[in-house]
């Protein structure tokens, strides 16, 4: 057992109270243990780790396996999750920081290795609330690891490696690109050794002598580009660390690709950065792989050798890699300087599509992290990405950035408003009728405040100019322009919907297929698709006003807006000026701006089909015990994302007069059609994760965790004292009836009402009549508010828009839907655009 003197006092005298120890003792006399409800004490999940499954005979339940580390407050135990429970991880129902009850488990011995075995969790129950066990634990790492008697000396059981001994390392929980675990070495000092550079060969010599007999003389090169990691593991592959990483290296003769293979990646990937000088021996050469992405390097003005690439292998032969200390680098080596191609926002429209550029900007908006399933054979994989806005003072518009994971997990998860962001090797994407955006490439690297020191770009003139501009800004003014998280899509769907678009970009699915798409979504996975049909009902809902949330309560990603009391700021501004100009102006007191007060009135006839969130009766009944719930929340307030349903109000409670006219419309045939519909797909109302929030420095850590993916390891996080304002005055609950009138689906529509919203950037703003159909088609209310004289008061009221909804009667439309799994049983279904038949082409 782990020798941990700091925990001995914790174990002493309370061992008998340990549920995990008692369970392990009982497993000594039985193959599988079923625990009764009264015996299944709750345990907290403190780590959830993923790795490629061992190949088994018969049907493979999942490509990946999971080790889950739990604690009862006395011991911690790493257990194997039975593959039949993997779906709980896929939906983020089983997550770190949560509480579970183990109802069935077994002890599995490794038959091919002495002294190795583990607990296998076969059945469990997930609790909705944060764990009360963790409230009693000061430091999780101080708790001793529970190991079966006789296995105390097992290195595997004590190390950060999978319980399935055929696998040597963990993968990142939500993608395959990020380094994960203790095996990844970083921060090691460079060598101060004396190098013999007298026999160094040039890259040009390698290119010319590749097909001839040659002896690998040492190389002295500088890294000028670095790609993200590539994991190529699959079943049957007998490689312990199947990783690959490309680098572009240069010397005085030109540039060439270098490939780092397998276990050299954990040892060197995080130590090799742009600007690092390498002394290489025992490398090999091979013909370049042509079907891969490459950085655009014309700005380096050096010859590029693309026919061969340098391979660094862990064996046969074992390459020798020496990282040269910066103070040992001599000018006479002739290594080139690092060159960048920083582009100002004002120059972006002039760049050709797919051309590369580097940018620097001040972040004003950061979207939540989402995932999209990758294509190809082998084990399924997901890409993680997020949308970011950044300004540089040269344009009224921000950079719109689609950032995919760059194997820099620490930086990617800490991008937030008010930080200086540098992105290299971004690719330009031009959008017809809208603003261009930038998407990351395989060679993109990102850096934020705190990571710029020592980077080669710090002396670039464009960077220095940007820093000078930021000194003219006022933090309190910039903060008023910031936002975090929520539903965000870019670019907007095109003006016309075509069959070719349906075949290649946005699948046009049958209503029955939509059900399957909803059921198979995994946590934070995003899909865009189209469905034909007609709009059968629409209802406007305004989120309730705040009702005195207690200190240190923050929104849970598992909570419906219907159960929340949140604050919405006014969308009006005080002066007519551009966005960049407003950043340097004096801050105005937005709290004093007027806000229209409307109450939501929900009719009894539509409540059953349009009920927000389908809240169970028990959950509604539980709201009677509000005071008791508040006391419990206060006790657990040290942990972020506490459930706040104890103080929530349903939209029904917001209706002062249930007999008055409601803000809704429905088709004249909808009452009859409801009886004929075989299935009504309703995944809830508008979830907390769907709503963008204002960024505040006090809530930085909470907002970061809220917008990021569920972490692999639990860490205590104290919450802020108040909720940040939410940027959404109201939304429309839309019921879409499939074209064959067999299946209906509810979707949410949030119109853009202010030019200050993140969704307003790049939004085509052709004037329209503010009818219900034109709003659904355009995505915004016309005109967007942006001055005191053109404020929210001048926008059409929901009742005015709904008064025009009769044009939806029996109208054939194509709806573009964005689906995103938000965790648990919550699936976000948002309307991106509605096409009339006149906007649909069969070409």
Dump pLDDT digits (tens) for 473-499: 999 999 999 999 999 999 999 999 988
- Residue owning tokens 């998860």: 413
Compute the Cα dihedral for 483, 486, 491, 492 and give only its sign. negative
pLDDT tens profile 122-177: 999 998 777 889 988 888 888 999 988 888 777 777 788 999 888 999 999 999 99
- For residue 808, the model assigns a pLDDT of 96
Going by the DSSP 8-state scheme, the letter that residue 13 receives in this structure is T
The answer, as to whether pTM is greater than 0.75, is yes
C-alpha of 687 from chain center = 16
pLDDT tens profile 76-128: 999 999 999 999 999 999 999 999 999 999 999 888 888 889 999 999 999 87
pLDDT tens profile 605-656: 333 333 333 333 333 333 334 344 444 433 443 333 343 333 222 333 233 3
Going by the DSSP 8-state scheme, the letter that residue 15 receives in this structure is G
The confidence band for 21, taking pLDDT boundaries of 50, 70 and 90, is very high
Instruction: Tell the burial category of 74 from Cβ atoms under 10 Å away from its Cβ (0-12, 13-18, 19+).
Output: buried
Q: Any residues with CB less than 8 A from the CB of 621 and at least 6 apart, and which?
A: none
List alpha helices for 471-612, DSSP H.
Answer: 475-479, 499-504, 511-520, 579-583, 604-610
Is the predicted pLDDT of residue 471 greater than 50, yes or no?
A: yes
- For residue 29, the model assigns a pLDDT of 84
Token duo for residue 334: 């002739």
Q: Which residues of 289-318 are buried (b: 16+ CB within 10 A; e: fewer)?
A: eeeeebbbbeebebebbeebbbbbbbeeee
Is the predicted pLDDT of residue 814 greater than 60, yes or no?
A: yes
Token duo for residue 131: 């764990």
Q: What is the DSSP string of 353-420?
A: TT-EEEEEEEEEEEPPPEEEEPPSSSS--EEEEEEEEEE-SSSSS-EEEEEE--S-HHHHTT--TTSE
| Partners of 107 in beta bridges | 119
- For residue 504, the model assigns a pLDDT of 78
Calpha distance 516→683 (Å, rounded): 13
Angle (nearest 5°) at CA 767 between 762 and 771: 110
Calpha distance 433→663 (Å, rounded): 34
* Dihedral pair phi/psi, residue 623, rounded to 5°: -70, -15
Cα→Cα distances 351→426, 441, 591, Å? 12, 16, 41
* Dihedral pair phi/psi, residue 837, rounded to 5°: -65, -30
In order of start, what are the domains of the chain with their CATH numbers?
A: 19-167 (2.40.50.140), 203-333 (2.40.50.140), 345-484 (2.40.50.140), 497-544+662-690+726-842 (2.40.50.140)
Cα→Cα distances 256→321, 539, 613, Å? 17, 60, 56
- Determine contact, residues 90/112, Cβ cutoff 8 Å: no
Q: What is the mean pLDDT of the chain?
A: 82
List the one residue out of 157, 139, 150, 2 whose CA is nearest residue 67. 157
- For residue 602, the model assigns a pLDDT of 31
pLDDT tens profile 240-254: 999 999 999 999 999
pLDDT tens profile 365-406: 999 999 999 987 778 899 999 999 999 999 999 999 999 999
- For residue 739, the model assigns a pLDDT of 94
Is the predicted pLDDT of residue 40 greater than 90, yes or no?
A: no
Mean pLDDT of 737-741: 95
- For residue 732, the model assigns a pLDDT of 96
Mean pLDDT of 544-573: 37
- For residue 718, the model assigns a pLDDT of 57
Mean pLDDT of 170-199: 86
Instruction: Tell the burial category of 519 from Cβ atoms under 10 Å away from its Cβ (0-12, 13-18, 19+).
Output: exposed
Q: Any residues with CB less than 8 A from the CB of 365 and at least 6 apart, and which?
A: 387, 388, 389, 398, 417, 482, 483, 484, 758
- For residue 158, the model assigns a pLDDT of 75
Percent of the chain at pLDDT > 90 equals: 62
- For residue 220, the model assigns a pLDDT of 97
* 214-218, 754-758, 781-785: the lowest-pLDDT one: 214-218
* 203-212, 592-601, 785-794: the lowest-pLDDT one: 592-601
List the one residue out of 741, 651, 727, 653 whose CA is nearest residue 693. 727
């Amino acid at each position: 057992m782990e020798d941990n003197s700091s925990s001995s006092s914790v174990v002493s005298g309370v061992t008998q109270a340990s549920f995990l120890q008692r369970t392990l003792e009982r497993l000594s006399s039985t193959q599988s243990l079923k625990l009764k409800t009264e015996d299944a004490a709750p345990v907290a999940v403190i780590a959830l780790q993923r790795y490629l499954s061992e190949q088994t005979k018969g049907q493979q339940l999942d490509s990946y396996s999971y080790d889950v580390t739990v604690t009862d407050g006395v011991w911690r135990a790493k257990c194997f999750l039975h593959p039949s429970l993997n779906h709980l991880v896929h939906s983020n129902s089983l997550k770190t920081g949560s509480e579970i009850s183990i109802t069935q488990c077994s002890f599995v011995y490794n038959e091919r290795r002495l002294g190795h075995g583990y607990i296998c969790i076969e059945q469990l129950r997930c609790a909705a609330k944060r764990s009360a066990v963790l409230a009693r634990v000061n430091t999780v790492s101080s708790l001793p690891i529970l190991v079966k008697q006789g296995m105390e000396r097992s290195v595997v059981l004590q190390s950060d490696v999978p319980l399935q001994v055929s696998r040597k390392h963990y993968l990142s929980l939500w993608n395959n690109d990020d380094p994960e675990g203790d095996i990844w070495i970083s921060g090691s000092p460079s060598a101060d050794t004396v190098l013999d550079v007298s026999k160094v060969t040039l890259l040009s010599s390698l290119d010319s002598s590749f097909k001839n007999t040659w002896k690998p003389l040492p190389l002295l090169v500088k890294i000028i580009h670095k790609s993200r990691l590539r994991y190529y593991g699959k079943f049957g592959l007998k490689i312990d660390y199947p990783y690959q990483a490309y680098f572009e290296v240069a010397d005085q003769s030109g540039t060439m690709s270098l490939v780092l293979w397998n276990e050299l990646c954990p040892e060197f990937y995080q130590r090799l950065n742009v600007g690092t000088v390498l002394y290489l021996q025992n490398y090999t050469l091979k013909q370049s792989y042509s079907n891969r992405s490459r950085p655009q390097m014309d700005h380096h003005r050096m010859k590029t050798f693309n026919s061969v690439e340098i391979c660094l292998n862990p064996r046969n032969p074992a390459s020798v890699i020496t990282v040269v200390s910066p103070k040992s680098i001599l000018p006479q080596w002739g290594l080139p300087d690092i060159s960048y191609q920083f582009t100002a926002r004002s120059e972006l429209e002039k760049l050709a599509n797919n051309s590369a550029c580097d940018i620097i900007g001040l972040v004003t908006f950061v979207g939540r992290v989402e995932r999209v399933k990758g294509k190809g054979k082998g084990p399924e994989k997901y890409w993680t990405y997020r949308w970011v806005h950044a300004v540089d003072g040269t344009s009224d518009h921000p950079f719109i950035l689609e950032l995919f994971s760059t194997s820099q997990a620490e930086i990617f998860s800490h991008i937030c408003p008010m930080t200086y962001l540098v992105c290299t090797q971004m690719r330009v994407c031009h959008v017809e009728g809208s603003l261009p955006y930038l998407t990351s490439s395989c060679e993109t690297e990102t850096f934020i405040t705190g990571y710029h020191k020592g980077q080669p770009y710090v002396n670039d003139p464009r960077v220095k100019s940007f820093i000078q501009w930021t000194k003219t800004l006022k933090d309190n003014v910039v903060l008023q322009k910031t936002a975090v998280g929520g539903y965000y899509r870019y670019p907007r769907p095109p003006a016309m919907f075509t069959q070719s678009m349906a075949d290649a970009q946005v699948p046009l699915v049958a209503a029955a297929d939509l059900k399957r798409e909803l059921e198979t979504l995994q946590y934070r996975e995003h899909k865009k698709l189209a469905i034909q049909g007609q709009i059968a009902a629409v209802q406007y809902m305004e989120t309730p006003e705040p009702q005195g949330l207690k200190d240190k309560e923050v929104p849970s990603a598992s909570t419906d807006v219907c159960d929340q009391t949140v604050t919405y700021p006014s969308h009006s501004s005080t002066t007519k000026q551009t966005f960049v100009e407003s950043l340097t102006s004096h801050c105005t007191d937005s709290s004093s701006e007027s806000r229209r007060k409307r109450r939501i009135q929900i009719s009894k006839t539509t409540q059953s089909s349009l009920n927000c969130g389908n809240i169970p009766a028990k959950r509604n009944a539980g709201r009677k015990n509000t005071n008791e719930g508040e006391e419990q929340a206060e006790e657990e307030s040290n942990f972020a994302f506490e459930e706040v349903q104890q103080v929530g109000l349903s939209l029904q409670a917001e209706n002062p007069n249930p007999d008055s006219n409601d803000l809704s419309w429905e088709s004249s045939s909808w009452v009859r059609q409801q009886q004929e519909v075989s299935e009504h797909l309703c995944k809830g109302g508008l979830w907390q994760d769907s709503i963008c929030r204002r960024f505040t420095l006090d809530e930085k850590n909470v907002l970061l965790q809220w917008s990021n993916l569920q972490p692999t390891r639990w860490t205590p996080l104290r919450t802020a004292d108040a909720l940040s304002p939410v940027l959404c005055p109201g939304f429309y609950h839309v019921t879409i009836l499939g074209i064959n009138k067999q299946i209906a689906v509810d979707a949410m529509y949030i119109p853009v009402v202010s030019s200050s919203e993140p969704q307003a950037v790049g939004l085509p703003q052709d004037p329209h009549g503010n009818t219900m159909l034109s709003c659904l088609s355009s995505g915004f209310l016309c005109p967007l508010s942006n001055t005191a004289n053109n404020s929210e008061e001048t926008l059409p009221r929901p009742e005015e828009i709904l008064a025009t909804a009769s044009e939806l009667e029996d109208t054939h439309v194509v709806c573009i839907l964005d689906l995103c799994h938000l965790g648990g049983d919550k699936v976000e279904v948002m309307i991106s655009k509605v096409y009339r038949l006149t906007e649909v082409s069969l070409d």
